[in-house]
Amino acid sequence: MIVADRKPVEEIIEYLKDHQNILVLGCNECVTVCEAGGKKEVQVLASALRMNAQKNGNEVKIDELTLERQCDHEYLEEIRDIIDQYDAVVSLACGVGIQFTAEQYPNSMIYPGVNTCFMGATEKRGLWVERCQGCGQCVLATTGSVCPVSRCAKRLFNGPCGGSTSGKCEINPEVECAWQLIVDRLKALNKLDEYEKLSPIKDWSTDRAGGPRKVVREDVQQ
């Protein structure tokens, strides 16, 4: 899933200082799972904004709504009839949802309410970890299903570097060395010989380096 983190409420208050009619718009997908932008977080943020308005003696209307998805035109239609009541929307969806909402409603001011962080998973409640950077050319088949792009701080394809100590990365003893994990996995799979195969220079044109990306599937297009 896409993992996001809540923005500091002070930052959101600053965005909204000139607005009186505000919709806090959550998303029921990834950001709900990572507890950054679901119904619950919409309530919390809306309450904080109301308290701030009250404290400053401002008359501000703050409504709450959570859509099934903001990265889907169909669900975004649900706010077509009400969006003009607001002079600002704070979207708690990921960066994709925020932009999709803005694209559907070009006359509305849509502010981000979260920082979109990475593609990852829930290690345990309150701890989300990165596992993929969407490089567009998956190499997990040769790395024991451990991703060197997202998990090695230097994204080495022929690691580990000299900074690997006791299974930890040189940048932080709390970060696991991806190449230690790769070596451990290869060993467990009885494939340590594969470690010695040189990984060729990567084609990053399918990564961010190639510009904005899209996946086109003409066979399923209508």
Partner 1 sequence: MSMKTPSKLEKILSEGHLAVTSECGPPRGANPEHIIKKAELIKNHVDAVNITDNQTSMTRLCSLAACIRLKLMGLEPVLQMVTRDRNRIALQSDILGAASFDIYNVLCLSGDHNSFGDCAQGQNVHDIDSMQLAQMVRHMRDEGKFISGDDLDGRPQMFVGAAANPFADPFEIRVPRLAKKVAAGVEFIQTQCIYNLEKFEEWMKGVRDRGLHEKCYILAGLTPMKSVGMAKYMQKRVPGMDVPDEIITRLQGVEKGKQAEEGIKICVESIQRLKECEGVAGFHVMAIEWEEKVPEIVEAAGLYPRPNGN
**Interface with partner 1 (CB under 8 A):** 153-167, 170-171, 177, 180, 183-184, 192, 195-196, 198-202, 204
Instruction: Give least dist CB 129 to partner 1, A.
Output: 18
Return the number of other C-beta atoms located less than 10 Å from residue 15's C-beta: 16
Judged by beta carbon, residue 105 or residue 195, the one nearer partner 1 is 195
Judged by beta carbon, residue 61 or residue 155, the one nearer partner 1 is 155
Helix (H, G, I), strand (E, B) or coil at 197: coil
Instruction: Give least dist CB 139 to partner 1, A.
Output: 13
Distance CA 37, CA 85 (A): 22
Distance CA 194, CA 177 (A): 18
Q: Report the half-sphere exposure of 127 (CA within 13 A, side-chain side).
A: 2
Judged by beta carbon, residue 131 or residue 168, the one nearer partner 1 is 168
Instruction: Give least dist CB 57 to partner 1, A.
Output: 39
Judged by beta carbon, residue 82 or residue 209, the one nearer partner 1 is 209
Q: What is the DSSP string of 119-138?
A: EEEEEETTEEEEEE---SS-
Instruction: Give least dist CB 199 to partner 1, A.
Output: 8
Residue type, 35: E
